[in-house]
């Protein structure tokens, strides 16, 4: 395979003043209140319901680790509006544990069962990272989400449509068994978020002319134990070797086998290891 030369490092585009101000505020909030590495935010005392959120009167920011509600997190208005319109108010355990670390850019190794709660735990950081990086249509692939099965990829895409409906990012499903490979090849480099199975992604890396993920910001490996059990270990290793080293990676797995631990060592840097094997939903229909 001839690996295409990477693009020149992208220049961040200018957004409307209101969005620029929001991004600057979010970056300050995230950096000033990020949780200590190696801690589980669920172990922190909860903030009172009446506590102010965001920038406080003394020009500091509210804590976002150890909170219950999505509105208490440093999220863009577009993401919060989507959550609110779908009646998502309270976070599940895996979200409470992982989102504070993921939002500040850390790698995450999460132990969690299948379900929308876990999917939210990586979809929200993907959307927020690209938003704060001012990602645009011309920037191409900003995130790759790898799933072991077509059914799970479909569910991830559905969740992305719900939570990302007010963002302008383009997304696509690249999954084995579909017949429109030629059409995919024509548009894959124009997509911002790829949701794919390992075999289909590697097919595009091998066959699609000028396939370029050199500026990718976030890699997600969902149900890593099932990916490895399905015989995709060689494909995953080949994929990871072609991705940019400077990235955020989130790996979720219901079981922590030796193969999963080996994959984590290969793909993650100083990850936060967070466990939430039981999903607990409060007033969050799906």
Mean pLDDT in the chain?
A: 90
Q: Domain 76-276 sits in which CATH superfamily?
A: P-loop containing nucleotide triphosphate hydrolases (3.40.50.300)
Left if phi > 0, otherwise alpha if psi is -120 to 50, otherwise beta: which for 59?
left
As a whole number of angstroms, the distance between CA 250 and CA 102 comes to 8
**Tokens 């719900």 -> residue:** 162
Q: Which residues contact 162 (CB under 8 A, 6 or more apart)?
A: 82, 86
Q: 166-170 — which CB contacts under 8 Å span 24+ positions? A: 166/78, 166/79, 166/81, 166/82, 167/76, 167/78, 167/79, 167/127, 167/130, 167/131, 168/137, 169/127, 169/130, 169/135, 169/142, 169/193, 170/137
How much is the average pLDDT of 48-53?
89
pLDDT band at 1 (very low <50, low <70, confident <90, very high): very low
Give the torsion sign (CA, 239, 245, 247, 248): positive
How much is the average pLDDT of 76-90?
96
What are 232-258's pLDDT values in tens digits? 999 999 999 999 999 999 999 988 889
Percentage of residues in the chain having pLDDT higher than 70: 92
Residue 236: in which H helix or E strand, if any? Answer: helix 233-241
As a whole number of angstroms, the distance between CA 80 and CA 77 comes to 5
For residue 177, the model assigns a pLDDT of: 63
Residues 184 and 204: beta-carbon distance below 8 Å? yes
How much is the average pLDDT of 191-209?
94
The first and second tokens of residue 255, run together, are 């079981």
As a whole number of angstroms, the distance between CA 253 and CA 221 comes to 8
Chain mean position to CA 17: 26
Tell me how crowded residue 274 is: count the other CB atoms within 10 A of its CB.
25
């Amino acid at each position: 395979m001839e690996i295409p030369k990477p693009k020149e490092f992208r220049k961040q585009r200018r957004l409307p003043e209101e969005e620029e101000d929001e991004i600057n505020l979010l970056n300050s909030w995230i950096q000033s209140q990020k949780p200590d590495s190696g801690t589980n935010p669920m172990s922190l005392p909860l903030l009172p319901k009446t506590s102010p959120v965001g920038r406080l009167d003394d020009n500091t920011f509210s804590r976002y680790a150890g909170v219950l509600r999505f509105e208490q997190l440093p999220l863009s208005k577009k993401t919060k509006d989507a959550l609110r319109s779908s009646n998502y108010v309270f976070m599940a355990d895996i979200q409470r544990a992982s989102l504070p670390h993921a939002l500040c850019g850390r790698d995450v190794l999460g132990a969690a069962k299948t379900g929308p709660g876990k999917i939210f735990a990586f979809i929200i950081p993907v959307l927020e990272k690209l938003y704060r990086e001012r990602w645009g249509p011309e920037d191409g692939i900003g995130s790759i989400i790898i799933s072991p099965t077509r059914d799970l990829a479909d569910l991830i895409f559905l969740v992305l449509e719900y939570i990302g409906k007010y963002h302008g990012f383009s997304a696509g499903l690249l999954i084995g068994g579909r017949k429109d490979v030629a059409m995919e090849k024509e548009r894959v480099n124009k997509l911002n978020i790829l949701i794919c199975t390992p075999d289909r992604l590697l097919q595009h890396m091998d066959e699609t002319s000028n396939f370029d993920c050199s500026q990718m910001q976030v890699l997600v490996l969902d149900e890593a134990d099932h990916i490895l059990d399905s015989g995709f270990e060689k494909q995953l290793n080949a994929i990871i070797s072609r991705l940019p080293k400077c990235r955020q990676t989130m790996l979720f797995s219901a079981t922590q086998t030796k193969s999963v631990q080996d994959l984590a060592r290969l793909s993650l840097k100083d990850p936060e290891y967070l466990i939430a094997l039981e999903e607990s939903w409060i007033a969050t229909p799906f």
